[in-house]
Amino acid sequence: MAEKKLILVCNDDGITAPGIRNLIEVCKGFGDVVVVAPDKPQSAMGHAITINATLRVQAMRSESALEYACSGTPVDCIKLAVNKILHRKPDLLVSGINHGSNASINVIYSGTMSAAMEGAMEGIPSIGFSLCNHSIDADFTLSRQVAHTIISKALNDPMPAGICLNVNIPDIAPEMLKGIKVCRQARANWEEEFDERRDPNGRPYYWLTGVFKNYDQGTDTDIWALENNYVSLVPCQFDITAHSSLAHYKSWEDNA
Amino acid sequence: MAEKKLILVCNDDGITAPGIRNLIEVCKGFGDVVVVAPDKPQSAMGHAITINATLRVQAMRSESALEYACSGTPVDCIKLAVNKILHRKPDLLVSGINHGSNASINVIYSGTMSAAMEGAMEGIPSIGFSLCNHSIDADFTLSRQVAHTIISKALNDPMPAGICLNVNIPDIAPEMLKGIKVCRQARANWEEEFDERRDPNGRPYYWLTGVFKNYDQGTDTDIWALENNYVSLVPCQFDITAHSSLAHYKSWEDNA
């Protein structure tokens, strides 16, 4: 009989968020589950790690998963899990289910996806799941179905080295879903608008807000897939070398 | 007469760090300089942004550069600079000079490089500079020469869209330098070792430490260049789609 699968679960919304609770339930059907997740919301932390402060890890009781709340960032959680908590390399790392889209350029800011990327850097097959709905009350019915399908595939199909998967789920009723689309990251950006306010002493402070702008007309992008009722699946790599620009800079080598 | 160049300067070690002070001095020779940098160290913040807290910006006096200290991350600094402080898009963004290497996988964790990446996302030609020496007392003589050379080239050679440059400088005497090498990011990783300690109440806490491990034997990598007394220059992209893995996942589309 094959050894039971070991699945590591993380997120960036914090260990109590509905998204991760739903993901844990899905994972329990596939093997042993260990959860190491932030003890508070850590959205938009990107690939931040904690090097100038200490980290705490608190074991929590739970029914059939081992759970640990960590004081650090999502990437800290993965490093702690791999190096201090788990006794062997997990068969799969899943991160999420994020409350909100991590499609397109959001992947760069996302703590959910940075946890998956860190897993890939550690040689663990890793997937980030995100639902395109920020609400704490979002309906995760479709997301659970999609996570079940994708985790099942991932456990039976070795992931290429150096990548992780960015899976985004449209906020629609399950019967509306058309399927999964393998996509590239859409060219898009946030147009920031800082909301300037005054504190009680009259001094200015700012809230970061912004509007998402998609400049990409391609039908092979994650944004297109989501707008057309598909789950988007983008393989992502941590080698960010712009290989196509190496030749452009070759002339700079001559007269340094 | 051509309009004076506008150069935006940021870093992640904080606005008072010797590295950025040296970079500001270099930039003054090329045009108008505006500095928007963190008011405290923000190393290893990756692409974190501040969405659950307010931001402060404090104008500082300085001789011939406009300087602003920001309470947020390096990426926050760029967003604030572009949207609230600058009246036009800068001709160049430079970040650093970082105290410590951002070669290889360090680029993923680096606040210095995330500032440059955010610049690229805003359509600004952007460069991160890092010296392979963490010391506050590091000698920036060679780094200043290199920054001068590279900034001069960058202002006269339009940068391809969607990329920024990751420039690392070896910690050697200027006369040892062999030149600039255009490189790819070496395949390497940090092997973490968590230093476990006990607080005065006997409860455990952790410090993240680690050892850098280079698994890449190529002579076309940034690590090879630095070890062989070259400045490494890696063009980096924010489209992290693993295009070479798209075909692998095509079969997943069929039976979602």
Q: B153-206 pLDDT, tens per residue? A: 999 999 999 999 999 999 999 999 999 999 999 999 999 889 999 999 999 999
The answer, for A184 touching chain B at a CB cutoff of 8 Å, is yes
Strand partners, A167: A129, A233
Q: Which residues on chain A are in Cβ contact (under 8 Å) with B235? A: 241-242, 245-246, 248-249
Average pLDDT, chain A: 94
| Closest to B154 (Cα-Cα) out of B30, B19, B22 | B30
Which of A168, A178, A245, A253 to mutate: most B Cβ within 10 Å? A245
Query: Under a CB-based contact definition with an 8 Å cutoff, are residues B184 and A241 in contact?
Result: yes
How far B63 CA sits from the closest chain A CA (Å)?
25
Q: What number is the average pLDDT over the span A203-211?
A: 92
Looking at domain B5-185+219-242, its CATH class is: alpha beta
How far A231 CA sits from the closest chain B CA (Å)?
9
In this structure, are strands B5-10 and B92-99 parallel, antiparallel, or unpaired? Answer: parallel
Q: Which residue of A has its CA nearest to B74?
A: A48
Q: Are the beta carbons of A189 and B122 separated by less than 8 Å?
A: yes
User: Exposure pattern of B49-81 as b/e (b: 16+ CB <10 Å)?
Assistant: bbeeeebebeeeeeeebebbbbbbbbbbbbbbb
Name the 3-class secondary structure at B144: helix
Q: Which of residues 105-124 of B touch A (CB under 8 A)?
A: 105, 107-109, 114, 117, 121-122
Q: Which residues on chain B are in Cβ contact (under 8 Å) with A56? A: 204-206
Average pLDDT, chain B: 94
Q: What is the pLDDT of residues B30-50, one digit of tens each?
A: 999 999 999 999 888 888 988
Sign of CA dihedral A135, A138, A144, A147: negative
In degrees, rounded to 5, the angle at the alpha carbon of residue B116 between the alpha carbons of residues B114 and B117 is 60
Amino acid B237: pLDDT: 97
Amino acid A43: pLDDT: 85
Q: Which residues on chain A are in Cβ contact (under 8 Å) with B240? A: 107-108, 185, 236-238, 240
pTM of the model: 0.95
ipTM: 0.93
HSE-CB of A73 using CA atoms within 13 angstroms = 30
CA–CA separation, A185 vs A137, rounded Å?
27
CA–CA separation, A228 vs A217, rounded Å?
13
Residue A162 has pLDDT above 70, yes or no: yes
Q: Are the beta carbons of A114 and B180 separated by less than 8 Å?
A: no
Q: Are the beta carbons of B54 and A109 separated by less than 8 Å?
A: no
Find where tokens 């063009």 sit: B235
Q: Which residue of B has its CA nearest to A147?
A: B256
Sign of CA dihedral A231, A8, B186, B133: positive
Amino acid B2: pLDDT: 64
The domain A5-239 belongs to what CATH superfamily? Answer: Survival protein SurE-like phosphatase/nucleotidase (3.40.1210.10)
Q: Which residues on chain B are in Cβ contact (under 8 Å) with A181? A: 253
Q: What percent of chain B has pLDDT over 90?
A: 89
